[in-house]
Amino acid sequence: MTNLTPANLFNLTDKVALVTGGGRGVGAMFSEGLLGAGARVIICSRRQQQLDEAVERLSGLGPVEAIAADLSSEQGCQQVVDELNKRCDRLDILVNNSGASWGAPLEEFPDTAWSRVLDLNVKAVFQLTVGLLPLLQASASADDPARVINIGSVQGLQAPEMENYSYSTSKAAVHHLTRVLAKKLAPQHITVNCVAPGFFPSKMTAKTLEDHGDQVIADTPLRRVGTPEDMAGVLMFLAGRAGAFCTGTVIPVDGGYATTL
């Protein structure tokens, strides 16, 4: 008999999840949602102090721990892989969320803005996923695949008004990398999907929302910015039984900002 209750469809009890950039902004929304659904969550980012503060803040919701590493380098990705292998015998959910942005006028856009953004936003997604394949494979089954969830952006779904050339290009690349990896890893019972957030309050969007928040809301059909519930909800769908038959998808969570233009 099927079990179509929310307790079954969205239950992540005893699942092990890694959320890169999971201590603040949208990443913290993901971490809170996973913890609330019963998962053990490991977060990573560059700064140990921020990780310590995040672990203290999130620990009341469930088991959470941290790894400090710079994912923009191959060595940093390998450091996370090695540390995770020490702590876990499997990985059920990988959320590739860490990212960087850069804004500058076209004629002034520097070469470093390409290497910094693409290294973290695209190359690290590939390197970390490949490095963690053995742990994902250890979790995967036909009925309950391991999950890779990449974080793209509505800026990669359209030509943005903002001059963030490397960022919007990198997010479009993440969307396509998601489809490529989904096809490759499906026979191994690993799904790969992508969430493309619109405007949510975070450090990355703070300046835009401060300067242009009214216009952003006016351009969003649902006339608001996103909330933690909006972001955690789609992640729990993709990570839980409810999303087990989805792979290669890019899901905009944007109030219609990109999808109705």
pTM for the whole thing? 0.94
- Dihedral of CA atoms 197, 203, 205, 207 in degrees, nearest 10, equals 180
Strands (E), the chain: 16-20, 40-45, 64-68, 93-96, 146-151, 190-197, 250-253
Query: Tens of pLDDT along the chain (261 residues)?
Result: 688 898 899 999 999 999 999 988 889 999 999 999 999 999 999 989 999 999 999 999 999 999 999 999 999 999 999 999 999 999 999 999 999 999 899 899 999 999 999 999 999 999 999 999 999 999 999 999 999 999 999 999 998 888 899 999 999 999 999 999 999 999 999 999 999 998 887 666 667 767 667 777 888 899 988 899 999 999 999 999 999 999 999 999 999 988 887
* pLDDT score for 1: 66
In Å, how far are 160, 177, 201 from 139, measured between CA atoms? 38, 22, 33
In sign, the C-alpha dihedral spanning 127, 129, 132, 137 is negative
Phi and psi torsions of 251, nearest 5°: -105, 110
Sheet holding 40-45, edge to edge: 64-68, 40-45, 16-20, 93-96, 146-151, 190-197, 250-253
* pLDDT score for 205: 67
Is 167 annotated as catalytic? yes
Q: How far apart are CA 252 and CA 171, in angstroms?
A: 12
Q: For residue 199, which amino acid is it?
A: F
Q: For residue 255, which amino acid is it?
A: G
Check 167, 199, 200, 257 and give the catalytic one.
Answer: 167
